[in-house]
A and B are shown apart, each in its own frame.
Chain A
Amino acid sequence: MFDILKELIFSSGAVSLTGGNLVMWLVSFVLLYLAIKKQYEPLLLLPIAFGILIVNLPLTFLMEPEHGLIWFFYHYGIEMDIIPPLIFLGLGAMIDFGPLIANPKTMLLGAGAQAGLYVTFFAAVLFGFDLQEAGSIAIIGGADGPTTIYLTSKLAPHLLGATAVSAYAYMALVPIIQPPMMKLLTSEHERKIVMTKLRPVSRLQKICFPIVTGMTIMLVVPPAAPLISMLMLGNLFKESGVVERLTNASANELMNIVTIFLGLSIGATMTATTFLNPKVLFIFFLGLFAFVISTAAGLLMAKFMNLFLKNKINPLIGAAGVSAVPMAARCVHKVGSEANRRNYLLMHAMGPNVAGVIGTVVAAAILLKNLG
């Protein structure tokens, strides 16, 4: 009897617990708190936090190659590039490109914000990361979770947990991080600029946009194909108006299902041995740097465009060039309406916001082409 009890105790995971496991439990509990209590990106943070918790329970072997349950999710979903494109399919079915079609100039703001990403690439190399790691860290500045995961899984899979959590955390923190940058880089007068109403966009124009844009991007930067093709297919489902069931399935059921597998898999990459080292923790700092610089680059791009435009744009909308849809656009609208109550910037900011999604994918594809 005593021997059985002794064997049970010594074969349990409890005796194999390490200090690192306990620290990771703490990280998991903090993320659970942020997801449940503060509701910061709960759809992603909750499964990520739970993934961290269970993978740091010794002897469960959930991430054991060829055996562990979550390893299969990770291997087939992320390593084989299935989940991020499916997330993009759902995103495409939810996005409205109308404001971008109505004001195509805002495409440049989506490009401007990506400049911050390359500045971070440079900074990460200066801090001792290799080129592939630097590329994976830089893409955090795009504030686009699926693209970050897609690129990191190709360039630096060992950093996947840190870059993904960092990207989603900063997306959730848009309302805290962006407004000070907006106020710092624009004058009161600039924030008060009222933009003219967007012109109406016909259904045919909305149908043609995903076809023309998708074809162009895939022809020019083929590595963008997995993400951009799914984004544009989802959007075509929505705009065609003839496949309502597919639109709903992409935007709801499919999106929700893959979000569960994505969150769990990302969380499960964050074991104590891979996560708890100064280099990985430094990624959170560089991620914040990337996001701040991208926001600044978008704002400065808008100010630069105003030097040449007859009808001035409100430079705040440049901050929406990062692709945190629609939080960045909402944040622009809020700051704009604080400066001028008559200012309704939401739809104007949605243009650069969706251009930011496209811009981040293009930037990731170029990084992949150069570093992959």
Chain B
Amino acid sequence: METDWSKVFEVFGSGIIGVFLVMILLQLLTQLSTRIIDTIENWNKGEEAEATPKK
């Protein structure tokens, strides 16, 4: 059977690019979500500290 080389190159190229794009997207989302959570947690800590009466 004749090999469809255009399909081979398409799978090869789209595969490599696709994996990198998805992983870069995941990296950015992970960084963004951790920053948001860090900000929320720091803000909560600050509020708790303010609510605690000073001795």
Instruction: Name A residues whose Cβ lies closer than 8 Å to a Cβ of B.
Output: 100-101, 104-105, 107-108, 110-111, 114-115, 117-118, 121-122, 125, 130-131, 135, 201-202, 204-205, 208-209, 212-213, 216-217, 220-221, 355, 358-359, 362-363, 366-367, 370-371
Chain A nearest CB from B50 CB (Å) reads 21
* Interface assignment of B49: CB less than 8 Å from any CB of chain A: no
> Chain B's nearest CB lies how many Å from the CB of A65?
27
The total of chain B residues at the interface (CB under 8 A) is 28
- The answer to whether A131 and B4 touch across the interface, beta carbons within 8 angstroms, is yes
Bound Cα distance from A48 to B4, whole angstroms: 35
The chain B residues found within 8 Å of chain A, CB to CB, are: 1, 3-4, 7-8, 10-12, 14-16, 18-20, 22-27, 29-31, 33-34, 37-38, 41
Give the secondary structure class of A's interface: helix
Decide: A362 and B29 in contact? CB cutoff 8 A. Answer: no
Whether the Cβ atoms of A110 and B37 lie closer than 8 Å is no
Query: Which chain B residues border A355 with CB–CB below 8 Å?
Result: 23
Do A212 and B29 touch across chains, with their CB atoms under 8 A apart? yes
Q: Which residues on the B side are within 8 Å of A367 (C-beta)? A: 11, 15
Could you tell me the distance between the alpha carbons of A101 and B26 in the complex, rounded to whole angstroms?
Answer: 10
Which secondary structure dominates chain B's binding surface? helix
Given contacts A202-B41, A213-B30, A216-B26, contact A111 B20 (CB under 8 A): yes
CB distance from A357 to the nearest CB of B (A): 12
**Chain B residues whose C-beta falls within 8 Å of the C-beta of A114 in the assembled complex:** 15-16, 19
Which of these, B3, B8, B27, B33, contacts A205 with CB under 8 Å?
A: B33
Nearest first, the 9 A-B pairs at minimum CB distance are A111-B23, A107-B27, A104-B30, A366-B18, A104-B27, A114-B19, A118-B15, A370-B11, A107-B23
Known: A100-B30, A131-B7. A118 touches B23 (CB 8 A): no
- The closest CB in chain A to the CB of B11 belongs to A370
